[in-house]
Amino acid sequence: MLNRKPAILVIDDEACVRHSLKFVLRDEYKVLAAPGALEGRFYLSSQHIDIVLLDIRLRGTDGLRLLYEIKQKFPYIEIIMITAYASLKTIRKAIRYGAFDYLIKPFDKNELRTVVRNALKDAKNRLAIKNELDKIKESTLYLEHLIGNARQTIISSSRNSMTAILLNIHSRDGYTWAHAGRVTRFSALIAEKVGITEDEMQRLKCSAFLHDIGKVTVDGAILEKESTLTEHEFNMIKRHPEKGAEMIKSTPFPDLIIPSIRHHHERYDGSGYPDGLTGEEIPYTARILAVADAIDAMIYSPARQHTFTAERVERELRTHSGTQFDPELVDVVIKEKLLSFA
Ligand SMILES: [Fe+2]
Ligand SMILES: [Fe+2]
């Protein structure tokens, strides 16, 4: 913009007005002249234009409407309205639509030059601000990209740590790693049948995989113990949902997965832990998780001397429907014959 003459487009249906404007301005500016809206639009879309001098009363076109259209498409072009009749109402409207100033025919050459110069200064300032904003936008996008990458790195290293923790628990109880995978798959199966959003599904899978992570805080001797647990030992194990939720708080995993981890041992009738929530107080994903978790334990837990058959699991689900489990979820598991996938 600095090394070339600023470009002015005159849109006026009177040839003498176009010629006289061109005559006054051509030494300092590149002046293009259009006799109507059509030619004006052509120049605007094909050339760089800094200022438009626009006739309010163009033949066949509403000059104000054209002003509005140009400002919408090219907000950084300044527009000076030209008119033979200075109606205050029209001028006000033009200013409201974004006109920079107005000139009344016949023009005073000096006034014309001053208005054009001011408009140009304004256009330059606006362009400079726009360029600054574009630069800021670009750097913001770049920073967001860097933050996104850093976040992914942290998430994947946290995921690796969580996997290592689950494997550590598994090495002591011979169960938790495989259990986490199966509970994740089975929870997703139930969720597909009841219909949850894609976001909820992602959170459910994540919390299902990590639901027993808090067991890492339980003494290895308790996890490995094959005989019946004492009350104290059982109380230690019962703390794993809270501990797991606390662990997740310090990771970049979404906070939204914490409730299902904390509440996966709540029971529908309020007799569960850690908070004794009842019915719909228990987060929906935690209720799904509780059903999947219990089914998996009935079929695969090494703590049971005899693992249950699908028929026995179904009987247990019916028996504890409405007390331990959300009855609607039990119905879905049974009606959809999901146990055949467990
Ligand atoms: Fe658990
Ligand atoms: Fe579990």
For residue 196, how far is its CA from the centre of ligand 1 (angstroms)?
A: 23
For residue 265, how far is its CA from the centre of ligand 2 (angstroms)?
A: 9
132 and 250 assigned to the same domain = no
Report pLDDT digits (tens) over 274-283. 999 999 999 9
181 and 111 assigned to the same domain = no
Inform me whether the pLDDT recorded for 160 exceeds 80.
Answer: yes
For residue 293, how far is its CA from the centre of ligand 1 (angstroms)?
A: 7
116 and 249 assigned to the same domain = no
CA dihedral 121, 125, 127, 133 (to 10 degrees): 180
219 and 330 assigned to the same domain = yes
For residue 184, how far is its CA from the centre of ligand 1 (angstroms)?
A: 13
Q: Is residue 145, in this structure, part of any structural domain at all?
A: no
**DSSP helix/strand/coil, 200:** helix
Given this model, what pLDDT does residue 3 score? 65
186 and 274 assigned to the same domain = yes
Q: Is residue 184, in this structure, part of any structural domain at all?
A: yes
Please give the Cα distance from 246 to 258 (Å, whole number): 8
Q: How far apart are the first and last CA of the chain?
A: 71
Q: Is residue 151, in this structure, part of any structural domain at all?
A: no
135 and 248 assigned to the same domain = no
Where among 140, 163, 195 does a domain terminate?
A: 140
Please give the Cα distance from 267 to 291 (Å, whole number): 10
For residue 261, give the ligand nearest its CA.
Answer: 1
Given this model, what pLDDT does residue 1 score? 47
219 and 292 assigned to the same domain = yes
Where among 140, 166, 198 does a domain terminate?
A: 140
Per-residue pLDDT, averaged over 219-238, amounts to: 87
Radius of gyration over every alpha carbon of the chain, rounded to an integer in angstroms: 37
Q: What CATH number is associated with residue 15? A: 3.40.50.2300
21 and 123 assigned to the same domain = yes
Inform me whether the pLDDT recorded for 329 exceeds 60.
Answer: yes
For residue 12, name the pLDDT band (cuts at 50, 70, 90): very high
Q: Is residue 158, in this structure, part of any structural domain at all?
A: no
Q: Left if phi > 0, otherwise alpha if psi is -120 to 50, otherwise beta: which for 54? A: beta
Best-predicted range by mean pLDDT (3-7, 46-50, 103-107, 129-133): 46-50
For residue 292, give the ligand nearest its CA.
Answer: 2
| Domain enclosing residue 12, as ranges | 7-140
For residue 213, how far is its CA from the centre of ligand 2 (angstroms)?
A: 9
Q: What percent of the chain has pLDDT over 70?
A: 98
Report pLDDT digits (tens) over 110-132. 999 999 999 999 988 888 888 89
181 and 132 assigned to the same domain = no
**DSSP helix/strand/coil, 103:** strand
Query: Residue 189, Cα to own-chain centre: how many angstroms?
Result: 27
Best-predicted range by mean pLDDT (225-239, 249-263, 313-327): 313-327
> Of 211 and 170, which is predicted with more confidence?
211
Kindly report the number of other CB atoms within 10 A of residue 187's CB atom. Answer: 28
205 and 323 assigned to the same domain = yes
189 and 122 assigned to the same domain = no
For residue 188, how far is its CA from the centre of ligand 1 (angstroms)?
A: 17
Q: Is residue 161, in this structure, part of any structural domain at all?
A: no
Q: Is residue 90, in this structure, part of any structural domain at all?
A: yes
Where among 140, 162, 194 does a domain terminate?
A: 140
**DSSP helix/strand/coil, 285:** helix
- The tokens of 158 are what? 């946290």
Q: Is residue 42, in this structure, part of any structural domain at all?
A: yes
Q: What CATH number is associated with residue 231? A: 1.10.3210.10
Inform me whether the pLDDT recorded for 86 exceeds 70.
Answer: no
118 and 26 assigned to the same domain = yes
Inform me whether the pLDDT recorded for 258 exceeds 70.
Answer: yes
Q: Is residue 159, in this structure, part of any structural domain at all?
A: no
0.85 surpassed by pTM = no
Signed CA dihedral, 156, 157, 158, 163: sign only = positive
* Number of structural domains in the chain: 2
Please give the Cα distance from 153 to 286 (Å, whole number): 28
- The tokens of 258 are what? 């914490």
